[in-house]
Amino acid sequence: MKRLYSSLIVMVVFVLFAGLSETAEAIDLRSWDQRIDQRFLLRFKSDTAVLDNETQLLWERNPGDTEQTWLDALSHCNDKNVGERKGWRLPTIQELASLVDPGNRSPALPIGHPFELTLAQEDGFFWSATTSAGDTNIATNVLFRDGGVSVGDKDGVEFVWCVRGGQGVDPQ
């Protein structure tokens, strides 16, 4: 009986792992523990967008230098047209922070990045779509001077960096 029970367990584990391996092949699990040689690729006409090969997100190359309220930032991204493509949105805090290289300052972006930021943007805050869990009048942001994550009143003005792809709706 013990041998039959052990054989049954082995069969169940085999079936489970066989199913998982098929699933794992369909999921892109790149780069969580390694750096990609060519992380950023320019895309669209006139290189107006940047594909991040680490996260598979598409970013505006030049986020624009107009600061906006949080609500205006949401509308701005939803109406955005980059490279004759719609479907842009305000990034979640996790997506925005994924651009940060903690070893760099002003801006805290990876060395050799292709983004075109003004000096004000390099030292400025950028909105995320993530609302504070404790106060719906506050949203999170990233300060690209040092890569710090912070919060700001939604009625205040900050820079806007639109993204395409990824998870979309902020579940927080």
User: What confidence score (pLDDT) does residue 32 get?
Assistant: 47
Q: Does residue 170 sit within a domain?
A: no
7 and 49 share a domain?
no
Residue 37 has pLDDT above 80, yes or no: no
115 and 158 share a domain?
yes
Residue 18 has pLDDT above 90, yes or no: no
Task: Determine the average pLDDT of the residues in 117-141.
Answer: 95
Highest-pLDDT range among 8-22, 34-48, 133-147: 133-147
Q: Which of 56, 76, 42 is nearest to 159 (CA)?
A: 76
Mean pLDDT in the chain? Answer: 82
Q: 24 pLDDT band (50/70/90 cuts)?
A: very low
Structural contact between residues 154 and 71, judged by C-beta atoms closer than 8 angstroms: yes
Q: CB-based contacts of 149: which residues, under 8 Å, 6+ apart?
A: 93, 97, 140, 141, 142, 143
Q: Which two tokens stand for residue 131?
A: 């609302």
Q: What is the pLDDT of residues 67-122, one digit of tens each?
A: 999 999 999 999 999 888 999 999 999 999 999 999 999 999 999 999 999 999 99
107 and 51 share a domain?
yes
Q: CB-based contacts of 143: which residues, under 8 Å, 6+ apart?
A: 124, 125, 149, 150
User: What confidence score (pLDDT) does residue 3 get?
Assistant: 52
User: What confidence score (pLDDT) does residue 44 get?
Assistant: 76
Q: Which two tokens stand for residue 152?
A: 């700001």
Q: 38 pLDDT band (50/70/90 cuts)?
A: confident
Count of the separate structural domains present in the chain: 2
pTM value is 0.76
23 and 74 share a domain?
no
User: What confidence score (pLDDT) does residue 84 get?
Assistant: 87
CATH of the domain at 111: 3.10.100.10
Taking the C-alpha atoms of residue 95 and residue 91, their distance in angstroms, rounded to an integer, is 6
Q: 7 pLDDT band (50/70/90 cuts)?
A: very low
Find where tokens 């940060």 sit: 100
Q: Which two tokens stand for residue 119?
A: 């000096």
Q: Which of 40, 41, 43 is nearest to 83 (CA)?
A: 43
53 and 22 share a domain?
no
7 and 74 share a domain?
no
123 and 77 share a domain?
yes
The range of the structural domain enclosing residue 25 comes to 1-30
Farthest-apart Cα atoms in the chain, separation: 74
Task: Determine the average pLDDT of the residues in 132-153.
Answer: 96
